[in-house]
Chains A and B, each alone.
Chain A
Amino acid sequence: MDPTKEEPGQGNQDAVSIERADAPIRGGQLTVETLERVRERDSHALSTFFEFYFDRVYGLAYRLLGDHASAEDVTQEVFQKVHKAAPQLDTSRDPGPWLMAITHNACRDHWRSKAFKLGRKSQSLEDTEGLVETLAAPGEGADEALVREEQARKVQAAILKLPEDLRSVVILHDYEGLGHEEIAMMIGATHVATRKRYSRALGRLAALLKDL
């Protein structure tokens, strides 16, 4: 099976062990029963599925593309594909890696598109406005939130300076928490190649963020 083909339900079967129809998936919010109803395109189940995965899909798209408008484009594209492929969903597996693969592929197509390339030239990396609200933890002072916002902005800007292949690996590994084996399957590279890319990505980021 070609890991880059976005087969429905593709993923690390070991990540989720499903033995009963009501076995929980990821914190008990999604069950196999819910996934069965997703296959039937049940409106309520689809809504639950959406709430469960939306933030991961959107977050990954935003971190890879660097702006909200592009992240929205990709997120919509991903959920359209999921809706279309829902009847073929493998309910015995965690759909998470499958969604991440679709998202990654959609981002790759998006950043290779002419419109995105042109858009990036005219767009600054100031698309992190509003981070103060999302960064400020309860009880955290405004100064600390500003420092964290500035740090996050620098890191995001540095990530976006990486070549696409390095950017994907570092985001999927460190932001999404995927292992090198999963990433290798997702991007269609070998495990060793993925690890090397990750090392290179960290090295470049370190060079870009010397004063962090």
Chain B
Amino acid sequence: MHGPDEPPLTPLEERVRSVVRSLPHVEADPAFRNRLRREFSTGYFERRRRVRPPEPKIAGWFTWRWAIPATAILLVIAFGFVNRGPDWKIMSASGTGNVVVNGKTVSVSDRKALAGGLRRGGHISVPAGSELTLVSEGTLLVQAAPGTDLQLPTPPGRWMAKNMHAVVTKGEARLLTGPRFPGRTMDIGTPAGGTVITGTLVSVVTDGVFTCVCVSEGTARVGKSPTTMEFVPAGMRKVMWSDKRPAVLLPIEPEHAEGLTTLLREHGKDVGK
């Protein structure tokens, strides 16, 4: 059926056409041919079972079925990173001796090793005669007085997970909130009670038997349990015991007031105050 209407061809195209026309007869697998003839003549077609060549790994892996959840996971991870608040930084480390940071003993004078051991939610133990001041930029400054055991809070997220939790097991922790803190809360647990702060300058002192929460600026909710918390105004302190003795509200002691005032004076700018 090759008509005269075909366009003029070059010699090479003529040759190509002739070899295409002379392509050999294609022989099918006799078993396939016989089976299909039987099926066609009877009308009962079996589902074909044959092994397909293995799919290329990259192309096979990258299908929309996997791409969508993978993208969602990546977005969640990316959001988690973007949402993270600033990490803890060491503002000052004074005194002598060794600080235990997450179970690792580090000389208090070795700032590099100290910074390397710090992590979100980590535990630090400051020996008597040393003092450690940490800051999460613009949000919170924590000062661990000599002889303090403290579980650092995770810095609050920018949009989600804004609440922080810290634990003071022993000693004195002074806390100063920064300009990025409003809208966030932080609860601090001790063996004899806890406090919730929403923006203030406080110190939490405990020896395991009693806990004293001294409020220098702002207010804090303080109580032995979440249901018995009460507001403690600036200039006051609340003392709680781990036994059944009732909590008392007293004026802040000069010693603790001095410590907090010094903290604000020396490190207020570090947290943006």
A133 and B40 alpha carbons, distance in the complex (Å): 28
Pair count A-B, CB < 8 A? 133
Interface assignment of A121: CB less than 8 Å from any CB of chain B: yes
The total of chain A residues at the interface (CB under 8 A) is 62
A residues 72-124 near B (Cβ < 8 Å) are 72-73, 75-76, 79-80, 82-83, 115, 118-119, 121-123
The reply on B9 being an interface residue by CB < 8 A is yes
In the assembled complex, how far is the CB of residue B19 from the closest CB belonging to chain A, in whole angstroms? 5
Q: Could you say which residues of chain B place their CB within 8 Å of the CB of A152?
A: 23-24
Q: Which residues in chain A, 119-177, are within 8 Å of chain B measured between CB atoms?
A: 119, 121-123, 130-131, 133-135, 148, 151-152, 155-156, 159, 170-171, 173-175, 177
How many angstroms from the CA of A25 to the CA of B96 in the assembled complex?
A: 107
Residues on B with beta carbons closer than 8 Å to the beta carbon of A63: 23, 26
| Stretch touching chain B among A3-11, A26-34, A197-205 | A197-205
A49 to B2, CA, bound (A): 26
Within 8 A of A (CB), among B1-38: 1-3, 5-7, 9-10, 12-13, 15-17, 19-21, 23-29, 32-33, 36-37
- Contact residues on B (Cβ < 8 Å of other chain), bracket: 35 or more
Q: How far is the CA of A199 from the CA of B17 in the complex (A)?
A: 11
Q: Beyond A76-B36, A174-B17, is A179–B25 a contact (Cβ under 8 Å)?
A: no
**B45 contacts chain A at the CB level, 8 A cutoff:** yes
Given known pairs A122-B55, A202-B9, A206-B13, the reply for A47 and B3 (CB within 8 Å) is no
Expressed in whole angstroms, the minimum distance between the Cβ of B53 and any Cβ of chain A is 5
A50–B37 touching, CB < 8 Å: yes
Interface contact B53-A123, CB-CB below 8 Å: yes
Instruction: Verify if B244 is at the interface (C-beta below 8 Å from A).
Output: no
> Is the Cβ of A118 less than 8 Å from the Cβ of B26?
no
B19 surroundings in chain A (CB, below 8 A) = 151, 155, 209, 212
Tell me the bound Cα distance from A88 to B20 in angstroms: 35
Is residue B265 within 8 Å, beta carbon to beta carbon, of the partner chain? no
Interface residues of B (CB under 8 A from A): 1-3, 5-7, 9-10, 12-13, 15-17, 19-21, 23-29, 32-33, 36-37, 39-43, 45, 48, 50, 52-56, 59-60
Q: Can you report 10 residue pairs joining A to B where beta carbons are below 8 Å apart? A: A50-B37, A55-B25, A68-B28, A76-B45, A79-B36, A122-B53, A130-B27, A155-B20, A206-B12, A212-B19
